[in-house]
Structure 1
Amino acid sequence: MANLGFRVFEDFKRPDRELVEAFKEVPVANIDDNMGRIACVDSAIKPFNKAKLIGTAFTVKVPFGDNLMFHKALDMAKEGDILVIAGGGFLERALCGEIMINYAIMKKLSGFVIDGAIRDAETTRNVDFPVFARGINPNGPYKNGPGEINVPVAVGGQVVFPGDIVVGDEDGLIFIRPDDAPELLEKVKAYHKNEEVILDSISSGLGLDRTWVEKALEEKGCEFIKEVK
């Protein structure tokens, strides 16, 4: 019988590294603009340093304040993986700190995403290893289990599957299904290039076409009044 809630799936299919790396220089905002503007993770999950987050999701589901399965995942994960920890947003116990981060660096992992708390915040802010988390708490975790590894999880209001492409920058965090990634990448590159053209136009003094603003207001029935009485 399957031991639901306490099990480990030992491996999963990872996307080609070249496809993953292709998103490295693309702003998360541009990706979200091309995913219906509803794909980003809850803004409460924030970056703790300026290191760019790019890699493959290695998912972990843990009980509130317990990191037994986080430790198991840390041993299992491969170079380029990002540990995505579904901790239920619980903030009263940290799920990791300086030691686990340094072990992940040694293993050449690509980052942590934690829907929960961390500790050793000062160290985290100064290390070249991307960490996204919901908060900080010095209380240490329990190590009792249960939990699951490499199952679909919910993190910051988004569903994440093992093998999803993870992209994070100072604006926020987003997950991409590998099957959607090639077409999405082409759209995002074109979108980003158009933004660069617009910014060049502004910086060169040519200005910006703003006629769409008046058009939108008129179409929505906005009333224009000449003077405040």
Structure 2
Amino acid sequence: MQLNNLGIVKRNIVRADKDAVAQLSRFSSGTIHEAMGRVGLMLPYIRPAYSGAQMCGTAITVLLHPGDNWMMHVAAEQIQPGDVVIAAITAECTDGYFGDLLATSFQARGAKGIVIDAGVRDVKELAAMQFPTFSKAISAKGTIKATLGSVNIPVVCAGAVVNPGDVVIADDDGVVVVPAAVAQLVADAAAAREANETEKRAKLAAGTLGLDMYNFREPLAKLGLRYID
């Protein structure tokens, strides 16, 4: 982390095309991850605070320090309808940075949800609000407000690079980041993959075996697979 990246709030960012974001919102994180060439996936320790949470939107990034959520309030001002907040931490921490009060503020601004590489709390209330929240941990431990971070700079969140305006898709299976510049290309690839899987699903439902549909028998035999009665 460079020191000249601290204490910055970038107010004007270029968000991914709205139509591309709408198209990407139709697909699961797994489909998009595969369609994009198996890149952009956050580490699997990021989990939804409640089952069934899902979201798709453009990234507002915030860089926080361990145990300090001050910049969350700064980030709230930059949220536009359809955004998701991506919170990275300068060092490992599991404190509860985010709860129902911040969720209320974010929701009022039109946020679609949050991903944070740290802890959250008030999960019962977050579930009741249906505010999609994805985090590294759940912790009742609160935070202070004492140090400057930054808003809308490139960050690394749970192993994934996120730039302001990128598309973030999150569901029960994981969180994937699509660079804004390729959002439409990835949406088209995801649609093609989904159509292909729909066809395969119909064949499997009709009783066709994957062994035959994928032509697995010959390569398995070449590797020495034998059937013994």
Report the TM-score, using the length of structure 2 for normalisation. 0.89
SS in 1 for 2:53: coil
Q: Mean Cα displacement is larger for which, 35-44 or 61-70?
A: 35-44
CA positional deviation for 1:78: 1.1
Aligned to 1:14: 15
CA positional deviation for 1:218: 5.5
List gaps (5 residues or longer) in structure 2: none
Q: Against the structure 1 CA distance between its residues 30 and 99, is the aligned structure 2 distance closer, same or farther, given a 3 Å change threshold? A: same
SS in 2 for 1:167: strand
CA positional deviation for 1:6: 1.8
After superposition, give the CA deviation of every residue in 1:180-216 in whole Å (9 maximum; x if it has no partner): 1112211111111111111111212344425533444
Identity value in percent: 27
CA distance in 1 between partners of 2:89 and 2:220 (Å): 44
Q: Mean Cα displacement is larger for which, 152-161 or 73-82?
A: 73-82
Q: Against the structure 1 CA distance between its residues 211 and 79, is the aligned structure 2 distance closer, same or farther, given a 3 Å change threshold? A: closer
Aligned to 2:43: 42
CA contact (8 A) 2:62 2:75 kept: yes
SS in 2 for 1:126: helix
SS in 1 for 2:216: helix
CA positional deviation for 1:11: 1.9
CA contact (8 A) 1:91 1:134 kept: no
Aligned amino acid, residue 163 of structure 1: G
Of Structure 1 and Structure 2, the greater helix share is in 2
Aligned to 1:126: 128
The residue correspondences of 1:113-192 to structure 2 (distance < 5 A) are: 113-192=115-194
Q: Against the structure 1 CA distance between its residues 216 and 68, is the aligned structure 2 distance closer, same or farther, given a 3 Å change threshold? A: farther
CA distance in 2 between partners of 1:186 and 1:194 (Å): 13
CA distance in 1 between partners of 2:90 and 2:6 (Å): 14
CA distance in 1 between partners of 2:91 and 2:174 (Å): 16
Question: Which of 190, 195, 198 is the matching residue for 1:196?
Answer: 198
The residue correspondences of 1:93-112 to structure 2 (distance < 5 A) are: 93-112=95-114
Q: Against the structure 1 CA distance between its residues 143 and 193, is the aligned structure 2 distance closer, same or farther, given a 3 Å change threshold? A: same
CA distance in 1 between partners of 2:224 and 2:76 (Å): 59
CA distance in 2 between partners of 1:211 and 1:77 (Å): 46
Q: Mean Cα displacement is larger for which, 179-188 or 167-176?
A: 179-188
CA distance in 2 between partners of 1:183 and 1:4 (Å): 31
Aligned to 1:205: 207
CA positional deviation for 1:225: 6.2
SS in 2 for 1:141: coil
CA positional deviation for 1:72: 0.5
CA contact (8 A) 2:17 2:183 kept: no
The residue correspondences of 1:84-95 to structure 2 (distance < 5 A) are: 84-88=86-90, 90-95=92-97
CA distance in 1 between partners of 2:214 and 2:101 (Å): 55
Aligned to 1:78: 80
Report the TM-score, using the length of structure 1 for normalisation. 0.89
CA positional deviation for 1:94: 1.0
Q: Mean Cα displacement is larger for which, 88-97 or 17-26?
A: 88-97
Aligned residues: 224
Aligned amino acid, residue 109 of structure 2: K
Aligned amino acid, residue 20 of structure 1: V
SS in 2 for 1:41: coil
CA positional deviation for 1:88: 4.7
